Amino acid sequence: MVNAEAFELGTNRSCIRELFEYGLMRAKVVGKDQVYDFSLGNPCIPAPDDVHKTIEALLQDTDSLALHGYTSAIGDYETRAAIAADLNRRFDANAQAENLFITCGAAPGLCAVLGGLSVAGGKVLALAPYFPEYKPFTQGAGLEFDYVQADVPDFQIPFDALRKALTPNVVALIVNSPNNPAGTVYTEKTLQILSELLTEKAAEFGHPIYIISDEPYRELVYGDAKVSFIPKLYKDTIVCYSYSKSLSLPGERIGYVYVPSQAADSQAVYGAVAGAARKMGHVCAPSLWQKVIARCTALRPDLQAYDRNRRALYEGLTQMGYTVAKPEGAFYLFVKAPNGDSLAFSQMAKEKDLLIVPGEGFGCAGWVRLCYCVSYDTIMGSLPIFKNLIDAL
Ligand code: PLP
């Protein structure tokens, strides 16, 4: 006897992983350079040199227990204080170590926040296209999940539809800017309108509606786009941050939750996040990585390679006649399936060893996602295949 829902989740493979593994299998048959794999968001730029230098220095100077022993569940004070100082320097955030909870990345941070906000009958909203894991994370926390379709093709916030979806049982809205999969970055003006709407609805319902700001791509932004710090625009914001993409460390599992003091019931929320993390078996984030982060908060990624890929792919595809959402952040391109059927189009592409993810899982059928954190050669090699595909329709 096993839990049926857990079995379903554990055995119903994610389409992204399936494509990625198919790509590995095909690479053995046709050669790695003949497979154009845009499926998985594994950063292709290396972690900054200073990360490696910091590890080397720590290994020389720090004793084994301090490096590899347990830390407190909320994280090393030194790490939390360093992150708070970084947030204050960059965003004038008024953060303190006590507002930070160090996690094993954004995913468990999101689960802890959702678990902490879980009340009977509560609902969480997302804006489609959204990161597919939001649904199992929310439902796993005992909350209902629903989403609102973003405006197409710029994927901005659909305020009329959102207003209708904000029912009294909504406890939180997940905001992901820069967005996976559309690369959208919300402007400060958009976020101000959002803040006014949520403030109005929270007053009407008599309880806070939190923004859960999922920020793994905060530092991945191009051109003139600016990523606003949402707690400055809406006080009831809880931030889930990750170093997976900003420092190219996705396998190391390190990030944090930030519960600002000015957020409604801040201390209760922080305590509930800690309790929800405990229920999930969180003991502490990796000690070595906490020490690295404490010394590396000022490091930023070198985005040149991503930006070159972004421009080559966006320009190449739009010139061929594809409709593409212009990405201002993250490392994804969201493209309208030219035949209107994302499942059929990604299957046609797969037959040419071009691996792109249908938008269904992101709540956006009719679109496909390309992850452009790949080599420039992969981008250039894929363009003739995209051309053949659209010409053949
Ligand atoms: N949120 C979004 C939007 C993501 O794209 C990802 C990973 O791809 C995550 C959260 C999870 O990131 P982490 O590796 O920090 O758990």
**Which residue out of 102, 130, 131, 249 has the highest number of ligand 1 atoms within 8 Å of its CB and is therefore the one to mutate?**
131
**Which residue out of 20, 177, 242 has the highest number of ligand 1 atoms within 8 Å of its CB and is therefore the one to mutate?**
242
Written as six digits, the tokens of 105 are: 């990345």
Residue whose C-alpha is closest to residue 202's, from 241, 238, 171, 159: 171
| 194 Cα: distance to centroid of ligand 1 (angstroms) | 23
Task: In whole angstroms, give the CA distance from residue 224 to residue 210.
Answer: 28
| 106 Cα: distance to centroid of ligand 1 (angstroms) | 6
Note the pLDDT tens digit of each residue in 174-214.
999 999 999 999 999 999 999 999 999 999 999 999 999 99
Q: Bridge partners of 329?
A: 221
Atom of ligand 1 nearest to the CA of 242: 15
The yes-or-no answer to whether 4-46+302-391 and 50-296 have a common fold is no
Residue list, ligand 1 pocket, CB within 6 Å = 41, 105-107, 131, 176, 180, 214, 216, 242, 244, 250, 255
Note the pLDDT tens digit of each residue in 63-81.
898 899 999 999 999 999 9
**Which residue out of 214, 243, 246, 362 has the highest number of ligand 1 atoms within 8 Å of its CB and is therefore the one to mutate?**
214
Nearest residue (CA) to ligand 1, atom 5: 180
Domain ranges of the chain: 4-46+302-391, 50-296
Atom of ligand 1 nearest to the CA of 108: 16
Mean pLDDT of 145-174: 95
Residues 6+ apart with CB under 8 A from 152: none
- Please return the burial class of 4, using the count of CB atoms within 10 Å of its CB with bins 0-12, 13-18 and 19+: exposed
Task: In whole angstroms, give the CA distance from residue 36 to residue 226.
Answer: 31
Quickly list DSSP for 183-215: -----HHHHHHHHHHHHHHHHHHTS--EEEEEE
What's the pLDDT score for residue 13? 78
Three-state DSSP state, 87: helix
Identify the band that residue 61 occupies on the pLDDT scale cut at 50, 70 and 90: confident
- Please give the class, per CATH, of domain 4-46+302-391: alpha beta
Task: In whole angstroms, give the CA distance from residue 191 to residue 234.
Answer: 8
| 391 Cα: distance to centroid of ligand 1 (angstroms) | 35
Residues 6+ apart with CB under 8 A from 288: 55, 58, 67, 68
In CATH terms, the fold of domain 50-296 is Aspartate Aminotransferase; domain 2 (3.40.640)
DSSP secondary-structure letter at 366?
Answer: T
- Please return the burial class of 216, using the count of CB atoms within 10 Å of its CB with bins 0-12, 13-18 and 19+: buried
Identify the band that residue 152 occupies on the pLDDT scale cut at 50, 70 and 90: confident
